[in-house]
Amino acid sequence: MTQSGPAYTTPPGSAKPPRDDARALVEHYGLKRAGARAPLADYTRQLWRRRYFIAEFSRATNASTYSRSMLGQAWQVLTPLLNAAVYYLIFGLLLGTDRGVHNYIGFLVTGVFTFQFIQGSVNGGARSLQTNRSLARTLRFPRAVFPISATAIALEQLLMSLVVLVPIVLLTGEPLRWQWITVIPVLALQILFCIGLSFILARIGSKVPDISQMLPFALRVWFYASGIMFSIPSFTKHHAEIGQIMNANPATIYVDLYRNAFLASGPSATPKQWLLALVWGVVVLVAGYVFFWKAEEEYGRD
Amino acid sequence: MTDPVQDPKPTVIADDVHLTYKISGKYAKRGGAMALARTVTRTSTPGLREVHAVRGVSFTAWEGEAIGLIGPNGSGKSTLLRGIAGLLTPSAGAIYTLGEPALLGVNAALIATMSGERNITLGCLAMGMTPEEIDERFDDICEFSGIGDFISLPMNAYSSGMGARLRFAIASSKAHDILLIDEALATGDAEFRRRSEERIKELRKEAGTVFLVSHTLGVVRETCDRAIWLEDGQIVMDGATDEVLDAYEEKHDPKRAARYRQQQRAAGSQAKPKGAKPKAAKPKAAKAAG
């Protein structure tokens, strides 16, 4: 509106309406505020339209992560294997936390691999908006794409780990049973839970980047509290309440359901565990999605 | 004077817009212990400054218009584009748009470690195309970008000109309601510039509005029928391209302006002094009246 000098005035043909006029035009033609957050239903529809983008973006990111290493994507299999070997060495052989477990290797490896899916989603989600900043500043699409693809990347890792897991479980003497099919519903519920977590951490991580420095500690505590390398019932015999709290922990529930599917020697899953797995999955996903969507307008701005 | 079959619609309305962004400078005192001490004593982070880049800008853009944003460096042109694209929220005032704006910036990296081909697929998917639509247009995009065999190399192997061409090819492969171009044509060679000017004209025919930020006034003269001159985040002048650009040159490059006037005079004494393209101003005058 302001002119810097009297020599430069706005010519009459410039179609610049006064303020009231602008309001009237906006209403008459139904213009929308630039960058406004879409209502939840529309947002979900836009997100659904980007499903191919999520798939392609996750695949591409995954490939480029390993593009500089000599062994390439073989690390997706090697990393979980090495991890399991280290935990076996320390907890199975040195510390002897294997008491009360029949097939300790199978027990440990199932726990480590499936917990890593949660870990990957949490870490990836927290960083997703930071690492994809330049893309987010260029194109407009629902930002929920980023946390979802963080989970998708972690999921690909999990699927690779399962390829390693199956022969290990069979080699340690577990029979092939019908219960193996229950891996599919467990995986589905765990995916819901992980996407929800990824949403929550993505929003927090976009506001407080320091969270990615804190997460390794939080995740380690969670790892030890989820009975990944020891059997919770045998270790909390004298502290029933602690055992109960640890058993209600969603990570414990998902890990136990996987173990129930793969290991014949372990305790079988209760209906209560299935119900809890469902509730945790749905509640965390819905709460996380809404929580993430609420701040949609703030992502990628500075 | 004209009787349009259909009323032109406003596509972008900026209503007294102020845009600010924060930048964090270098920390005055480095070191983990110092930083921790600052956190504990709650001293504000040093070096975080606010830049008030756009101060009270109002205009209305109509469908079918191509608008050039001109002004010296730091006058708020790129910030304004980001505001229109919805990537920055105004601190005061509001920007309204009809349809989805798409921003095409010169630094807009897709994913640098990935090949051009993969970036085409990703870019198109991100713009909401389906895989079938991409299959249809993939070859067109490759050809239009004209980067040949480089298409299979990662984008960080590209020259800045090639990157800009590929990005422009991707962004312009889809009809956008509002296309915002930020210096993207500056790095291309003459041949590419000519083709992109044609492409911009096509996009405008599809009832889109194009905003173009450029320091090359020639490009603005060629492609835009309206120009907005920004300085210090405020509009100095808004009108027909030739009028605005002449005034702009008069202020920032008087010698060149004089040369240009002479050329015009030499070119034809029957043409009006400012009449390089008298047609350009017409459609807007009609819109202003209607």
Encode chain B (290 residues) as per-residue pLDDT tens digits.
444 446 778 889 998 899 887 766 555 555 667 667 766 666 555 556 778 888 989 999 988 888 999 988 888 888 898 888 888 888 888 899 888 787 775 455 567 778 888 888 888 888 888 899 999 999 988 888 888 888 888 888 888 778 888 888 888 888 778 888 887 666 667 788 788 888 877 877 776 888 988 877 888 888 888 999 999 889 999 999 999 988 988 888 777 777 777 777 777 655 444 444 444 444 444 344 33
List CB contacts of A226: < 8 A, sequence separation 6 or more: A111, A115, A246, A249, A251, A252, A255
pLDDT the model gives residue B226 = 92
Which CA distances in Å does A283 have to A88, A120, A251? Answer: 34, 20, 15
**What total number of domains does chain A contain?**
1
Can you give the pTM of this predicted structure? 0.79
Which CA distances in Å does A25 have to A13, A22, A192, B62, B234? Answer: 18, 5, 44, 11, 22
pLDDT the model gives residue B185 = 64
Q: Is the pLDDT of residue A11 over 60?
A: no
- pLDDT, mean of residues A159-174: 87
pLDDT the model gives residue B289 = 39
The reply to whether residue A56 touches residue B122, judged by beta carbons under 8 angstroms, is yes
Instruction: Determine the distance in angstroms separating the CA of B121 from the nearest CA of chain A, rounded to an integer.
Output: 8
Which CA distances in Å does B198 have to B165, B167, B172? Answer: 14, 16, 11
Q: Give the model confidence (pLDDT) of A25-78 as tens digits.
A: 887 777 888 777 889 999 999 999 999 999 998 988 888 777 777 777 788 888
Tell me the residues of chain A between 129 and 148 that have a Cβ less than 8 Å away from chain B. 134-135, 137-141, 145
Residue of B2, B13, B209 best to disrupt the A interface, most CBs of A under 10 A: B13
Handedness of CA B57, B59, B63, B66 (dihedral sign): negative
pLDDT the model gives residue B144 = 86
- pLDDT, mean of residues A156-176: 87
Q: Which residue has the higher pLDDT, A108 or B263?
A: A108
Q: Pick from A22, A50, A297: which is nearest to B128 by CB?
A: A50
Q: How many residues comprise chain A?
A: 302
Structure ipTM over 0.90, yes or no: no
Nearest Cα residue in chain B from A36: B86
Q: Pick from A14, A15, A297: which is nearest to B89 by CB?
A: A297
Q: What is the DSSP track for B177-245?
A: SEEEEESTTTTS-HHHHHHHHHHHHHHHHTT-EEEEE-S-HHHHHHH-SEEEEEETTEEEEEEEHHHHH
Q: Is residue A232 part of a domain?
A: yes
Q: Is the pLDDT of residue A9 over 60?
A: no
What's the pLDDT band for A20 if we cut at 50, 70, 90?
low
Q: Pick from A10, A52, A56: which is nearest to B239 by CB?
A: A10
Residue of B18, B20, B60 best to disrupt the A interface, most CBs of A under 10 A: B60
Contact A182, A189 (CB under 8 A): no
pLDDT the model gives residue A71 = 77
Range of the domain at A74: 39-298
The reply to whether residue B118 touches residue A19, judged by beta carbons under 8 angstroms, is no
pLDDT the model gives residue B186 = 64
Q: Is residue A27 part of a domain?
A: no
Q: Is residue A264 part of a domain?
A: yes
The two three-digit tokens of residue B31, written as one number? 């070191």
Residue environment code for B198-236, b if the CB has 16+ CB neighbours within 10 A, otherwise e: ebbeebbeeebbbbbbbeebebbbbbbbbbbbbbbbbbb
Contacts of B257 in chain A (CB under 8 A): none
Worst-scoring range by mean pLDDT, A129-133, A241-245, B112-116, B177-181? A241-245
Exposure of A171 in the CB half-sphere (CA atoms within 13 A): 7
Instruction: Determine the distance in angstroms separating the CA of A174 from the nearest CA of chain B, rounded to an integer.
Output: 43
Contacts of A32 in chain B (CB under 8 A): 96-98
Q: Pick from B102, B125, B243: which is nearest to A56 by CB?
A: B125
Tell me the residues of chain B between 216 and 235 that have a Cβ less than 8 Å away from chain A. 226, 229, 231-232, 234-235
Contacts of B82 in chain A (CB under 8 A): 137
Q: Which of A92-96, A271-275, B107-111, B266-270 has the highest mean pLDDT?
A: A271-275
pLDDT the model gives residue B93 = 87
Q: Give the model confidence (pLDDT) of A198-229 as tens digits.
A: 999 999 998 888 888 899 999 999 998 888 87
The two three-digit tokens of residue A166, written as one number? 């199956």
Q: Is residue A204 part of a domain?
A: yes
pLDDT the model gives residue B40 = 67
pLDDT the model gives residue B282 = 40
B51 in reach of chain A (CB within 8 A): no
Q: Pick from A19, A25, A63: which is nearest to B10 by CB?
A: A25
Nearest Cα residue in chain B from A138: B108
Q: Is residue A59 part of a domain?
A: yes
Q: Is residue A222 part of a domain?
A: yes
pLDDT the model gives residue B272 = 45
Q: Is residue A25 part of a domain?
A: no
Residue environment code for B24-61, b if the CB has 16+ CB neighbours within 10 A, otherwise e: eeeeeeeeeeeeeebeeeeeeeeeeeeeebbbbbbbbb
The reply to whether residue B101 touches residue A32, judged by beta carbons under 8 angstroms, is no
B101 in reach of chain A (CB within 8 A): yes
Worst-scoring range by mean pLDDT, A145-154, A246-255, B42-51? B42-51
Q: Is residue A248 part of a domain?
A: yes
